[in-house]
Amino acid sequence: MGQITIRIDDELEKLIDQQRGDKPKSDFYREILTGYVNKPDCNLTATPRDGDYANQKLIEQLSGQVRFLEGKLDEANRLLLNEQTLHLATQRLLPPAQNKPWYKFWK
């Protein structure tokens, strides 16, 4: 059997103690939790909170930025490849360098 440890406000603890009467605390808390989980209209996985909406919106925004940056990276790689191809083509068109000794630079 699993164990759950939680901290609650003093006011909530007093309210729960008033409602539980003579039942042991663990049994009363167990009844509260099983009653909440077993409610027919309770779907714990499909009830998003307000923070989840903000997180989902942020995730979508960041996903869009990632897709945009991936496109820019692909474009930059394509341009770099094009520049390297043109550089090699121009190097082939240039005449080869003459091998002169360094001290004959004036001729």
Task: Encode pLDDT of 54-100 as tens digits.
Answer: 888 999 999 999 999 999 999 999 999 999 999 999 999 888 877 87
Residue 57 to residue 41: CA distance in whole angstroms: 26
Q: What is the DSSP letter of 98?
A: P
pLDDT over threshold 90, residue 48: no
The pLDDT score that the predictor gives to residue 87 is: 95
Question: What letters, b where the CB count within 10 A reaches 16 and e where it falls short, cover 47-83?
Answer: eeeeeeeeeeeeeeeeeeeeeeeeeeeeeeeeeeeee
Here the tokens at position 57 are 């919106």
- C-beta separation of 22 from 10 below 8 A: no
| Confidence band of 104 (pLDDT split at 50, 70, 90) | confident
User: In a 10 Å sphere around its CB, with 0-12 CB exposed, 13-18 middle and 19+ buried, how is residue 20 labelled?
Assistant: middle
